[in-house]
Amino acid sequence: MDLYRKNNLACSKITTRNYSTSFSLGVRVLRKKYRDGVYSIYGFVRYADEIVDTFFEQDQQTIFDEFKKETYKAIERGFSINPILDSFQHAVNTYKIDQELIDAFLESMEMDLSQTTYNPGLLQKYIYGSAEVVGLMCLRVFYADEPEKYNSLIKPARKLGEAFQKVNFLRDAQDDFENKGRVYFKDIDFKNFDKQAKQKIEDEIDQDFKEAYQGIKLLKKEVRFGVYLAYIYYLRLLRKIKRARPKDILQQRYRISNAKKVYLLANAYVKNTFNIL
């Protein structure tokens, strides 16, 4: 079983590194004992996201229903023949990740199969399930045996996930709107997207980042570096998007260059090492 688990975890690691160089770099700088759990979580959420965002030629609803059923079965059995699900269930059972978080995540992913516009209440529900709970799952890995500390960091962890997701909405607006017909932001008409509408979204994200930052400063040092690195990556991406004209958001996908990522990595390392966050 040890070899089997090791092999399955390797699948989650490969998935993380193939799909997100930024996130995988953040995981690598965590203290070693926390990495496996986070890799397992990311592999799971990435596969679920692929079902609803990629395989349009397939019966996505049926595939997603099967994936959801197999997820719960894997957690209950403590085993799965699917390497990604086996890796995830091991993290869930090891770190006692709340089922409510898993339920909320799967519900948000399923929304993408039929929902194209979101009112304020539905949008908040979607962001909670698609992003905030992922941060809470990772927070559980970090503080598995420290419930009081975990509870004290729930709010900033949720805010960080919310900020990340909103930045993703802006970054992916071209693909979401033009190719998938999705509009996540409330009261936004991308056919008439102007400077004021863009500024309103950016101001919301700025506030989310400010609240999240207060929680990052309170994280224990062995995980703080990785979380802070992800934070400054997204903060820099937001700054790049801020400089773009509203019409450009729907014409290209913004990213941080590898050279800039190296600079940010070095900067984050110095600040974390000398406690000058």
Average pLDDT, rounded, for the chain: 93
> By the 8 A CB rule, do 167 and 241 touch?
yes
Burial class (CB in 10 A: 0-12, 13-18, 19+), 247: exposed
Q: What is the pLDDT of residues 74-110, one digit of tens each?
A: 999 999 999 999 999 999 999 999 999 999 999 999 9
d(CA 127, CA 133): 9
Structural domains in the chain, sorted by start: 2-273 (1.10.600.10)
pLDDT interval class at 180 (50, 70, 90): confident
Range of lowest pLDDT (64-68, 81-85, 133-137, 254-258)? 254-258
User: In the prediction, which pLDDT does 183 show?
Assistant: 80
pLDDT (mean) for 143-157 = 97
Q: What pTM did the predictor assign?
A: 0.94
User: In the prediction, which pLDDT does 22 show?
Assistant: 82
Q: What is the pLDDT of residues 161-178, one digit of tens each?
A: 999 999 999 999 888 877
Position 186 pLDDT exceeds 90: no
pLDDT interval class at 273 (50, 70, 90): confident
For residue 111, what is the enclosing H or E element? helix 99-111
* Residue 176 Cα distances to 68, 77, 235, 243, 259, angstroms: 24, 37, 21, 21, 28
Dig out the tokens for 218 from the structure.
């309170």
Dig out the tokens for 189 from the structure.
């008409």
